[in-house]
């Protein structure tokens, strides 16, 4: 993990450290005493409690044992694993190429009922076309110097897209999508590819399961400027794509922040015929 971790990761580590400190204090132990009982250097407790160092599973077992709360061991281990899994470097996720990364997303999509998607730069997955996907994956492969399996990844991505679109069309799944107007003007794959993508976006906006909003260039951004793109899956998880990594957010207070941000962005967006006008203008600009 890079030395500069996202603030949400550090917040989670700090909150976990405070929880460990509370357990120690409830047990009536000083940090020095606990370290001596566990056979650690006396600074080790401090590093855990301040979120500087992540405890191993054995560290947590020792902590629970000496603080006389063995019933909390599994909960502590699960929390630590969750924090460790929040931040995954793209190189680690995609070390075997793009194909496997594309296949890993379906279970989460299948169990989610309410999707809230905000994108400041790109058309998001559920409403992408095959040529647009290929252009994106080729760019990702070249930028991140990955295994050259774009064709296989595109086939998987298209298959996944078909399965995602089945989710769009069936059941009680609902998609609220908010795009910045710049998404319509960011040319991916050349004019022909982009025109096809925008036509598909127009068609998708007519589906009953999709609410498509576009934040126009002229919107008053005094309250909230463009932020990082994110997918909010029910109220369970948010996924954020950073330049270097994939961030998974599960802390309730952070999920609430993403939900509130999405609500504010939705209020800045235009819908229906106004959104269609923006899309059609972008199509005409390609001619």
How confident is the model at residue 143, as a pLDDT? 62
What is the value of pTM for the model shown? Answer: 0.70
**Cα dihedral 131/136/141/143 (nearest 10):** 140
How confident is the model at residue 138, as a pLDDT? 77
Architecture category of domain 7-85 in CATH: Orthogonal Bundle (1.10)
Give a three-class secondary structure readout of the chain: CCCCCCHHHHHHHHHHHHHHHHHHHHCCCCHHHHHHHHCCCCCHHHHHHCCCCCCCHHHHHHHHHHCCCHHHHHHHHHHHHHHHCCEEEHHHHCCCCHHHHHHCCHHHHHHCCEEEEEECCCCCHHHCCHHHHHHHHHHHHHHHCCCCCHHHHHHHHHHHHHHHHHHHHCCCCEEEEEEECHHHHCCCCHHHHHHHHHHHHHHHCCCCCEEEEEECCCCCCCCCCCCCCEEEECCCEEEEECCCEEEEECCHHHHHHHHHHHHHHHHHCECHHHHHHHHHHHHHHCC
How confident is the model at residue 150, as a pLDDT? 54
Residues of the chain with pLDDT under 70: 1-8, 85-105, 140-162, 164-165, 242-246
Domain boundaries, the chain: 7-85, 88-285
What CATH number does domain 88-285 carry, 3.30.870.10, 3.50.50.60, 3.40.50.150, 3.40.50.2300?
3.30.870.10
How confident is the model at residue 55, as a pLDDT? 92
| Residue closest to 21 by CA, chosen among 45, 40, 54 | 45
Q: Tell me whether the CATH fold assigned to 7-85 matches the one assigned to 88-285.
A: no
């Amino acid at each position: 993990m890079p030395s500069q971790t996202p603030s949400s990761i550090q917040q989670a580590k700090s909150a976990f450290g405070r929880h460990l400190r509370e357990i120690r204090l409830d047990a009536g132990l000083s940090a020095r005493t606990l370290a001596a009982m566990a056979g650690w250097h006396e600074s080790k407790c401090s590093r855990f409690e301040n979120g500087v160092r992540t405890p191993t599973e054995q560290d947590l077992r020792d902590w629970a044992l000496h603080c006389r709360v063995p019933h909390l061991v599994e909960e502590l281990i699960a929390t630590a694993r969750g924090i460790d899994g929040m931040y995954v470097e793209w190189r680690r996720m995609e070390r075997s190429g793009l194909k496997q990364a594309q296949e890993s997303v379906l279970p989460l999509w299948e169990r989610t009922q309410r999707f809230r998607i905000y994108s400041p730069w790109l058309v998001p997955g559920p409403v992408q076309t095959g040529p647009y996907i290929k252009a994106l994956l080729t760019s990702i492969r070249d930028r991140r110097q990955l295994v050259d399996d774009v064709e296989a990844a595109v086939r998987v991505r298209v298959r996944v897209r078909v399965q995602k679109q089945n989710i769009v069309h069936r059941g009680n799944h609902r998609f609220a999508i908010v795009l910045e107007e710049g998404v319509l003007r960011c040319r991916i794959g050349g004019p022909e590819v982009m025109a096809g993508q925008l036509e598909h976006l127009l068609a998708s906006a007519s589906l009953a399961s999709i609410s498509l909003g576009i934040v126009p260039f002229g919107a008053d951004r005094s309250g909230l400027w463009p932020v990082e793109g994110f997918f909010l899956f029910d109220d369970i998880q948010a996924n954020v794509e950073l330049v270097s990594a994939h961030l998974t957010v599960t802390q309730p207070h952070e999920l609430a922040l993403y939900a509130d941000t999405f609500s504010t962005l939705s209020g800045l967006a235009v819908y229906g015929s106004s959104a269609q006008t923006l899309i059609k203008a972008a199509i005409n600009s390609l001619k």
